[in-house]
Amino acid sequence: MFRKVLIANRGEIAVRVIRALREMNIASVAIYSDVDRRSLHVQMADEAICVGPAPSSESYLVKEKILAAAKHVGAEAIHPGYGFLSENAAFAKACGKAKIKFIGPDWQAIEKMGSKTAARRVAIAAGAPVVPGTEKGVSDPKAARKIASELGYPVLLKAAAGGGGKGMRRVDQESELASAMSSASSEAERAFGSGEVYIEKLIERPRHIEVQVLGDEHGHIIHLGERECSIQRRHQKVVEESPSPLMLAKPELREQIGEAALRIARAVNYANAGTMEFLADQSGNFYFLEMNTRLQVEHPVTEWVTGIDLVRWQIRIAAGEKLTLKQEDIRWTGSAIECRVYAEDPANNFFPSPGRLAQYEEPSGPGVRVDGGVYPGWTVPLDYDPLLAKLTVWSDTRLTAIERMRRAVAEYRVLGIKTNLGLFAELMADADWRAGDLDTGFLDRFMHKLKPQKSSAEATVAGVLAVSQLAAKSAAAPQGHEPASLWRVNGRRGLLR
Amino acid sequence: MKFHVVYDGQSHALELRDAEYIFDDIPGAASVEQVKPGVFSVLIGAKSFRVNVAAQGEGFEVVSNDGLPRTLSIIDTRDRLAASDAAASKGPTVIRAQMPGKIIKILVEVGANVEAGQGLMVVEAMKMQNEVKAPKSGLVKKIAVAEDATVAAGETLIVVE
């Protein structure tokens, strides 16, 4: 087993990996940029090395600096987390050259599955269902028209190199096709350096369902069931759960989709943790979309329903150990739901809201897990992803898990910056969500019908009284550096009689 | 002492008398304890609330039992008059940064005529780009920032008259 591992990441996922390493008695090495000196992952690691200034292109994404840091401290392996260099085949290859183990699949699998069009060809060859469409990028407008009319409108344009919704366009009729092609292509060019765009049949009201796979380097691979990630905004996942409500209604689907995922994984001799993303229609037909050759953000829901520590297994597999779990031994128990707590302002179109966490209190109690990367008093930098923490709950049924999430969200107190916690409070009460009637357009529709919830009269009085007390305290300590507001002046007069 | 407060967008009158209060003409009894900095245990009669409070600009941010953040500010008669004056007055409109970020691109020049809804500049924060649009048609009077500059929330970006 490794004695020392470097984590080439930051935030909550770096903290997650450090925790696994500590439980395995392996020394952890954090890397950080100048603005992350005070980050939680730096405080928690056994060693920490600065890799450059704030922009990730000059720090967290610089392969040479990270490899040099690993050599400097004598780390034997690198865990890439998700994002950053986690799906960079060249980095995985460079690690191998430097005799440092990359905790993930081999670089050939990353390279092959990193291109959506190549991954799709692998899936077709392996006999897994895919969404009807082109296998290659299409640039000629005439050819595009022919393909789209054969598939039947609506169709979807997608960037071959991309993800996260960039370079993606819905096209409902032929007259929109040419302009959508050129705008999707230029957006893809800007975002990914490749303007290659392909065309797919659009699945109406699709559900996003993905399958976790876990394989060792000796040819043994299993699946750990599905996660439903249909609650998305701008193609970014916001809430994930396992099991999917679709599988709760049709339990035989899990084995079918799991087997499809394994066929694809075996075709590339996949080792370590990976995820196959599928689209499913409302009657349970599913189609392979793409593969993520890394640990997913939402891995905690799978860990909780299966009782399997994915990060620990990633490390053990990378160290050459055999995966001792057999497919028939995997059991799924209860229901787990994860909410991604983002630093963003729901009242201002969910724009990022970086800043200082004036107060930060995480929920706890039965069935609650928080994977956080922040602490009270810390300033959330504006240079990175706005994910503060992942709040995951488990209970024996989906509905009790939903009630538990509602309880946990109310315990979660974040002041100083805006978060989307309020959205979760309201989502947990929504009838369609509770019924599991989901698709990837759910959240947009939900937010349109949302009405602001009024504070009860008593809660209002409680809030006002708390503030008046605070005002009285600050009046009693007049040396505060903030200019005296009218409230404070009134507070002094009114409260210190 | 009587306060006029705006809580979560609603105007209220509050009068405080030691452990008693009168809220919108309804009297009640309350007990307030600060349990740690910025965190209060409030009993309204026997009903228990845990309230987190932080200063926010000129007012306060408040989170109570439902977990939803609310804003609270105090307004007296003079403030209300001033506010209505400001709303009524015509003239330059100052466009401020909605969020902290970096100015990626400035799309207009001083002296340009812009239409309501026209893009003025692109601001980026946390990997997201946001186009700042003109709230009304008019003349660009001033551009207060330069490309590549970092801005704080509320900072003046541009003035349109």
Same domain, A327 and A310: yes
**Confidence band for A136, pLDDT divided at 50, 70 and 90:** confident
Q: Is residue A118 assigned to a domain? A: no
The closest CB to that of A358, out of B21, B54, B65, belongs to B54
**Confidence band for A477, pLDDT divided at 50, 70 and 90:** low
Same domain, A216 and A362: yes
Closest by CA position to A227, among listed A204, A245, A214: A245
Closest by CA position to B67, among listed A361, A409, A417: A409
Residue B17 has pLDDT above 50, yes or no: yes
Which string of b and e fits B35-69 if b means at least 16 CB within 10 Å? eeebbbebebeeeebbbbbbbbeebbbbbbbbbbb
Q: Is residue A251 assigned to a domain? A: yes
Please, is A324 exposed, middle or buried when counting C-beta atoms within 10 Å of its C-beta (0-12, 13-18, 19+)? exposed
Residue where a domain stops, chosen among A201, A228, A248: A201
More confident residue, B30 or A367: A367
Name the token pair of A171: 């096209």
Same domain, A283 and A395: yes
Q: Which of A10, A207, A294, A316 is catalytic?
A: A294
Same domain, A183 and A326: no
Identify any residues that bridge with B131 across adjacent strands, giving them in sequence order: B122
Percent of chain B whose predicted confidence (pLDDT) is above 70 = 88
What is the value of pTM for the model shown? 0.81
Q: What does the pLDDT read at residue B76? A: 54
Q: Is residue A329 assigned to a domain? A: yes
Same domain, A355 and A380: yes
- pLDDT tens, position by position, A421-440: 999 999 999 999 999 999 99
Q: Is residue A123 assigned to a domain? A: no
Q: Is residue A296 assigned to a domain? A: yes
Q: What is the spatial distance between Cα A377 and Cα A373, in angstroms, rounded to a whole number?
A: 13
- pLDDT tens, position by position, A321-378: 999 999 999 999 999 999 999 999 887 888 888 899 999 999 999 999 999 999 999 9
- For A181, the domain range is 132-201
Which string of b and e fits A42-70 if b means at least 16 CB within 10 Å? bebbebbbbbbebebeebbbbbebbbebb
Q: Which CATH code for domain B93-160?
A: 2.40.50.100
Q: What does the pLDDT read at residue B78? A: 42
- pLDDT tens, position by position, B69-125: 898 887 654 444 444 444 434 567 888 887 778 898 899 999 998 888 788 998 887
Same domain, A332 and A295: yes
Same domain, A313 and A387: yes
Same domain, A87 and A140: no
HEC letters along A235-260: CEEEEEEECCHHHHHCCHHHHHHHHH
More confident residue, A493 or A296: A296
Same domain, A254 and A362: yes
Residue A59 has pLDDT above 90, yes or no: yes
Q: What does the pLDDT read at residue A292? A: 97
Distance from B53 to chain A by nearest Cα, in Å? 7
Same domain, A380 and A319: yes
Q: What is the spatial distance between Cα A40 and Cα A209, in angstroms, rounded to a whole number?
A: 32
Check if the beta carbon of residue A412 is closer than 8 Å to that of residue A365: no
Domain count, chain A: 4
Residue A450 has pLDDT above 70, yes or no: yes
CATH number at residue A180: 3.30.1490.20
Please identify, in words, the CATH class of the domain defined by B2-78: alpha beta
Q: Is residue A78 assigned to a domain? A: yes
- B67 lies within 8 A of chain A by CB: yes
Judge whether A294 counts as a catalytic residue: yes
Same domain, A146 and A216: no
Identify any residues that bridge with A392 across adjacent strands, giving them in sequence order: A338, A369
- A340 lies within 8 A of chain B by CB: no
Q: Is residue A268 assigned to a domain? A: yes
Quick one: which H or E segment has residue B32?
A: strand B26-36
Domain boundaries, chain B: 2-78, 93-160
What is the residue whose two structure tokens read 């009285």? A472
Same domain, A175 and A264: no
Residue to substitute from B64, B98, B129, B155, interface A, most A β-carbons within 10 A: B64
- pLDDT tens, position by position, A147-168: 999 998 999 998 887 666 778 8
Q: Is the ipTM of this complex over 0.85?
A: no
Query: Average per-residue pLDDT in chain A?
Result: 91
What is the residue whose two structure tokens read 């909605």? B98
Cβ-Cβ contacts under 8 Å, B68 against chain A: 421-422, 425, 453, 455
